[in-house]
């Protein structure tokens, strides 16, 4: 999908108008951002917004997230184990020590 993020009141208003008028090409509206359909029409709408507000419109293309393809098992396991922890007050950094889970710094250092 195409992600449009706006950075000014004028750009945000334009996005709002586009979303209202072209409902069919909008997957989701998120306040000052929106996800557009990955079609030429979606791209057309995004490009028009950027033409109108060059500095205040960011366009990105999103990719589907598949944790079984994109994320090592250790990370998935860590997320599940932490959310199932019995002591709700223990921060993750502390939780990971003494357990076979990666520490936050290691997670931050590795790109997907």
Partner 1 sequence: MRLYPHVAVVAPGLSLSRRRALAAAARSIGVTTGVDERIRATEAELRTLAEPVPSRADARRRVAETAADLDAERERVATIRGRLQEADDGSLRDDYRSALGALSEAETEHAAATEALESARERARAARDDRDRRLRLQDRLENDRRAARAELVDAVGPAVRRALGALPSRTPASFEAADAVSAALALVRAGRVETPVTLACRRFEGRDAAERWLEAPVYRI
Radius of gyration of the chain (CA): 20
Distance CA 8, CA 5 (A): 10
In angstroms, what is the minimal distance from the CB of 71 to partner 1? 23
Token digits of residue 100? 């076979």
Residues 50-109 touching partner 1, rule: CB under 8 A, are 54-56, 58
CB atoms within 10 A of CB 71: 13
Residue with smaller CB distance to partner 1, 8 or 39? 8
In angstroms, what is the minimal distance from the CB of 10 to partner 1? 10
Would you count residue 17 as binding partner 1 (CB under 8 A)?
A: no
């Amino acid at each position: 999908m195409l992600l449009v993020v706006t950075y000014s009141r004028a750009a945000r208003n334009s996005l709002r108008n586009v979303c209202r008028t072209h409902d069919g090409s909008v997957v989701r509206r998120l306040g000052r951002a929106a996800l557009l359909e990955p079609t030429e029409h979606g791209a057309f709408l995004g490009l028009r917004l950027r033409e109108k507000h060059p500095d205040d419109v960011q366009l990105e293309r999103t990719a589907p997230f598949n944790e079984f393809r994109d994320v090592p098992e250790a990370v998935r396991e860590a997320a599940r184990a932490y959310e199932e922890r019995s002591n709700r007050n223990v921060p993750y950094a502390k939780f990971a020590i003494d357990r076979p889970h990666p520490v936050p710094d290691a997670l931050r250092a590795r790109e997907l």
